[in-house]
Structures are given as structure tokens and as C-alpha cells.
Amino acid sequence: MTAAPDEAFVFNIVWTGKVFTYLRYFVASQIAQSGARFRFVVNGCPPEQIALMEEFRARHPDRVLEILEACETMAAHGVALDVAHDQRDDGEFFCFIDPDILARGPFLAEFAQHLDEGCVGVTSGQGVWRDDSVLPEGGLGVSGEYFYAADGYLFGSPHFAMYRREALDPTLDRWGIGFRSAGSELTDEVTNRLETSGRKYWVYDTGKLVNIFLQEDGEKLCHFEHPNLLHIGGMSHYLSPPDGGGGAEDAEWEPDQRIWPWPVTRLEVARYTGAVLRTLVEGHPAPPVPTEVDATLAPRLESVRDALVTLVDTYRVDIDGA
């Protein structure tokens, strides 16, 4: 076997709310730094956002295959991915990538190599706000930011994933699961297998159960962080709040921590980078890093600010078409 070329991969990107206005710059970087193709999966976006997607696709007709309207109202990320998986066949692979992953250089060859060397799936995408991705001992649920158990077991990432369908599809069929599977709806057979394997939790984020059962079926799953990919994470909520009404009030949104119990570092990174991106896209200079942030967090925010300034400067002509 030899590693598949970039053109063999189609990445499904799930879009929610009004984020396309801002995060299309990230996708422009993914297109520029790879030869892959992309599908825009619409998950509860208003008509004006879909119109912007159509304009973007018209600029890249050979790279953006289609705009698939998966969910009229916003559903869970995994629900939209299941629609794309079940309704479309892109050949040997099924892939997805978050729209807030910035590509700073070529990245696909290394992932394709992992798939060529025995992995039926490879994931990536640790958020810039985290230093580790290990589920703490006693954790009740496997949320998105946890890629490993304390014993080294790989749960994988819901942010970037590439799978061989020849292994993926039989596992989904055998266990009756999908990317939407979260825990409460599982059959007794699946629940019993999780109990006996020591991987039973109250709730699982997108794709975690898929990755567990691939390994239960004897397949090899891999995880790899690529230096040319920068995943910010959480920014979408500040760009298009779940309960926002649109316009200036969105910029004032803060998460209800009873619903989103985010760590302080994630809050600070997401809040600031959302503000930076919104400001840059609107044509204004990026705001400085807040002076009140923790000293250990400030360099991280400075780095992300510089990356976003470069991103918007680089792809503004591509986005605006002038």
C-alpha cells in the first residue's frame, strides 16, 4: 500500500448558526494548504449564511463539492455528521474537520501515512487552550477535549478525523451506533460491552463511541497532532451564540456555566479570539491581549492573535474576490 493522495479525501465541515461569516477564512486556509475536497454540512444555518456558502463554493467549484442541508434546526454535531455519512459515499474514506482549525502549512500527507500504516482511523485537533487531553480519574463523561483515558486508552478527537470506511461502516452497523451516539440511547448489548471493557461513562461526545467500538472490533486507532494545524476551540459560541439574536448583542454573550462548564483558560481563549476574529473581519485592527489575563495565558493569546491577523490578511482577497 501507498499513502493516498490529498485528492482522495473529502472533509465534511459542519456549519452552525452564523459562524460562516467569520470561519470561512479558516476553511480558505485548509483549501490552500491541501489538495483535499470539502463538503459544507448545514446544521441550522439561516438562509443568508447558506447564500455566503454558495458564493464561496462558486469561487472554489473544484474544491467544495456541495452544500448539504442536513438539519433545518441546529442539532448535535454528530447528528449532522451521520447525515453526511449515511447520505454520501466519497469512496475509501470518511473524514471531517472543524471549521475553526487553521492550516498554516501542508498537513495531509502525515495523516494519510498513518492510514497507510495500519490505522483505520486517525484523529487530531487539541485546542490551543489545553496542555493535555487526558480524562481525569473518576471522570463521569468523555467530553470533546479528552482524547485519552488515564491509562493511555485512546478515545480520539471529535474535531478532526479520517477513517477507512471498510472498517468504519461494519463497526457502525454491527453495534448500531453512529457519530451522534452519546450514551443514553444505547442497546443493552452495547452498554454491557462498555461495562466489561471498562469504558462505561454517563455521556460521550461526538465519535467517542465510534472510536471505542472500532478498537473493540480489533482495529487500530491513531492520534496525531500536526504542527501546521492550529485548533482554537469554543470560538463559535462567541461568534454565533446559541441563544443570540444576531448583531452587536452577540459580542456581549457569555456562556451559562450550568450548561457549558468551561475551564477559565478555554473561556479566556475563546472570548478573546472570537473578539479578534470578529474585529479583523469587520476591517478593524485586532484588539490587544487583555492586561488582566493570567501571565501564563498571555503568550498563548499573543500567538493566536498573530495567527489570526496573518490568516485574515492572507485570505481576505480570496474571500472578498477583490
Provide the pLDDT confidence category of residue 267 given band limits of 50, 70 and 90: confident
**Model confidence at 266: pLDDT above 50:** yes
- Note the pLDDT of residue 11: 98
Please say if the pLDDT value at position 225 is more than 60.
Answer: yes
HEC secondary structure over 207-239:
CHHHHHHHHHCCCCEEECCCCCEEECCCHHHHH
Model confidence at 248, pLDDT cuts 50, 70, 90, reads very low
According to DSSP, residue 293 is labeled S
Q: Are strands 101-103 and 64-71 parallel, antiparallel or unpaired?
A: unpaired
Q: How confident is the model at residue 251, as a pLDDT?
A: 58
Average pLDDT, integer, range 288-314? 91
Residue-range domain boundaries for the chain: 7-223, 232-317
User: Which DSSP helix (H) or strand (E) runs through 52?
Assistant: helix 47-59
Q: How far is CA 237 from CA 55, 100, 251, 316, in A?
A: 24, 11, 10, 23
**What is d(CA 247, CA 30) in angstroms, rounded to the nearest whole number?**
27
Q: What is the mean pLDDT of residues 240-253?
A: 60
C-alpha cell at 18: 452564523
Model pLDDT, residue 301: 92
Cell numbers standing for residue 190: 452495547
Nearest-angstrom CA–CA distance, 165 and 171: 10
Q: Amino acid letter at 140?
A: L
Confidence grade of residue 317 (pLDDT, cut at 50, 70, 90): confident
User: How would you classify the pairing of strands 93-97 and 10-16?
Assistant: parallel
Residue 246 predicted with pLDDT over 50: no
Residue 131 DSSP one-character state: S
pLDDT, tens only, 127-168: 888 888 999 998 899 999 999 999 999 999 999 999 999 999
- 280-297: pLDDT as tens digits: 999 999 999 988 888 888
pLDDT computed for residue 195 by the predictor: 96
The Cα 108–Cα 92 span in angstroms is: 16
Give the residue among 101, 105, 239, 240 at the shortest CA–CA distance from 161: 101
**pLDDT tens-digit map of 20-52:** 999 999 999 999 999 999 999 999 999 999 999
The 10s digit of each residue's pLDDT in 186-208 is 999 999 999 999 999 999 999 99
Confidence of residue 249 (pLDDT cuts 50, 70, 90): low
Report pLDDT digits (tens) over 89-129: 999 999 999 999 999 999 999 999 999 999 999 999 998 88
User: Strands 160-164 and 93-97: what pairing?
Assistant: antiparallel
Q: What's the CA gap between 151 and 135, in Å, rounded?
A: 9
Q: Which CATH number describes the domain made up of 7-223?
A: 3.90.550.10
Across 66-70, 133-137, 165-169, 257-261, least confident range: 257-261
Pick from 214-218, 263-267, 274-278: least confident: 263-267
Q: Which residues pair with 11 in a beta bridge?
A: 38, 95
Distances from the Cα of 121 to the Cα of 67, 95, 198, 271, 279, angstroms: 25, 9, 21, 32, 37
d(CA 235, CA 238): 5
Residues contacting 153, CB < 8 A, separation 6+: 199
User: Residue 293 has what pLDDT?
Assistant: 81
Question: Looking only at Cα atoms, what is the longest distance across the chain?
Answer: 59
Residues 6+ apart with CB under 8 A from 228: 33, 103, 104, 105, 106, 107
